[in-house]
């Protein structure tokens, strides 16, 4: 905590004399970061316990769309910095997942359908009229980090996905009952992401566990994951401030 995360601003860490954590311990520390995942943010808790109004659900869907469209751009930044063909062959799948390919309309289109199922018009999602300034700043910070950081660090920053299947499953389990006015087909995005996120995490975790080998590097990886957790948390803060949070 307290260390600038931007590679251009981060001071070199003094070598940490302590031994590196084992792979298992390092992975456990990455997973411990789940305590700070936005699943615990009051705005998300409100959303997933059925206490959000239609306006709050719509506001969330419209604002989160800005994150959705940034993800493949972020992944293209990872590819552009990565000289390893084997990594690129697997990573490119993320862009296809979101942008779609062939018959598959992709995740961005699925998100638009989710937004429309909540009652938004396609136009008001895609023209970004509801996107709050702080959402743009938070999401753009993620894309800019992926552009500037070594590709392994950008890979590490995707590891909030370790915790994403749980939040998608929460929505699938609760929303049909909480929000019966949302057509069930609109929830397809969440159904797709449970398995896609697991596959993504397998690759990103393997790269992170191998690349961040010294204790100093492992601590840097934890800082990077915290930075990404903070982005998601800040997005929820922005929505809570604008749309309110019901206790
Ligand atoms: O709904 C969510 O709470 C949530 C969170 C995250 C995440 O943890 O970054 C992602 C997603 N969804 C998601 O759908 C998604 O495709 C995704 C890609 C990434 C990434 O960092 O590359 N995160 C996430």
Residue nearest to atom 5 of ligand 1 (CA): 164
Residue nearest to atom 22 of ligand 1 (CA): 158
Confidence (pTM): 0.96
- What is the whole-number distance in angstroms between the Cα of residue 67 and the centre of ligand 1? 8
Residue 1 has a pLDDT of 52
- What is the whole-number distance in angstroms between the Cα of residue 197 and the centre of ligand 1? 8
Q: Which atom of ligand 1 is nearest to the CA of 97?
A: 16
Residue 13 has a pLDDT of 76
- What is the whole-number distance in angstroms between the Cα of residue 17 and the centre of ligand 1? 35
Give residues with Cβ within 8 angstroms of 105, minimum separation 6.
none
CA separation for the pair 28, 31 (Å, rounded): 5
* Residue 163 scores a pLDDT above 60: yes
Give residues with Cβ within 8 angstroms of 69, minimum separation 6.
108
- What is the whole-number distance in angstroms between the Cα of residue 103 and the centre of ligand 1? 23
Confirm whether the ipTM is greater than 0.85.
yes
Which residue carries 């199922």 as its tokens? 117
Residue 81 has a pLDDT of 98
- What is the whole-number distance in angstroms between the Cα of residue 164 and the centre of ligand 1? 6
Q: Which of 71, 79, 143, 195 has the most ligand 1 atoms within 8 A of CB, as the residue to mutate?
A: 71
On average, the pLDDT of the chain sits at 96
Give the number of other Cβ atoms within 10 Å of residue 9's Cβ. Answer: 8
Find the mean pLDDT for residues 13-17.
81
* Residue 247 scores a pLDDT above 90: no
Residues near ligand 1 (Cβ within 6 A) = 71, 158, 160-161, 164, 167, 193, 232
Give residues with Cβ within 8 angstroms of 222, minimum separation 6.
29, 30, 33
**Computed over its alpha carbons, how large is the radius of gyration of the chain?**
18
């Amino acid at each position: 905590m307290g260390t600038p995360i931007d590679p251009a601003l981060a001071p070199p860490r003094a070598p940490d004399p302590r031994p590196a954590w084992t792979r298992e311990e390092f992975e456990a520390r990455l997973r411990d970061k789940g305590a700070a995942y936005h699943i615990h943010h009051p705005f998300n808790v409100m959303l997933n316990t059925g206490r959000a109004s239609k306006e709050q659900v719509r506001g969330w869907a419209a604002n989160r769309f800005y994150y959705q469209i940034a993800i493949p751009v972020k992944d293209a930044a990872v590819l552009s910095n990565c000289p390893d063909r084997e990594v690129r062959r697997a990573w490119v799948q993320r862009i296809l997942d979101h942008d779609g390919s062939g018959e598959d309309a992709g995740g961005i289109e699925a998100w638009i359908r989710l937004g429309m199922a909540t009652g938004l018009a396609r136009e008001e999602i895609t023209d970004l009229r509801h996107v709050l300034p702080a959402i743009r700043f938070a999401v753009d910070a993620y894309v800019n980090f992926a552009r500037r950081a070594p590709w392994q660090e950008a890979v590490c920053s995707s590891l909030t996905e370790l915790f994403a299947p749980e939040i998608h499953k929460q929505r699938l389990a609760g929303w049909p009952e909480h929000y019966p006015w949302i057509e069930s087909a609109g929830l397809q995005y969440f159904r797709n992401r449970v398995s896609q996120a697991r596959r993504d995490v397998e690759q990103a975790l393997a790269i992170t566990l191998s690349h961040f080998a010294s204790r100093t590097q492992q601590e840097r990886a934890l800082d990077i994951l915290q930075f990404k957790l903070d982005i998601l948390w800040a997005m929820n803060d922005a929505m809570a401030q604008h749309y309110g949070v019901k206790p």
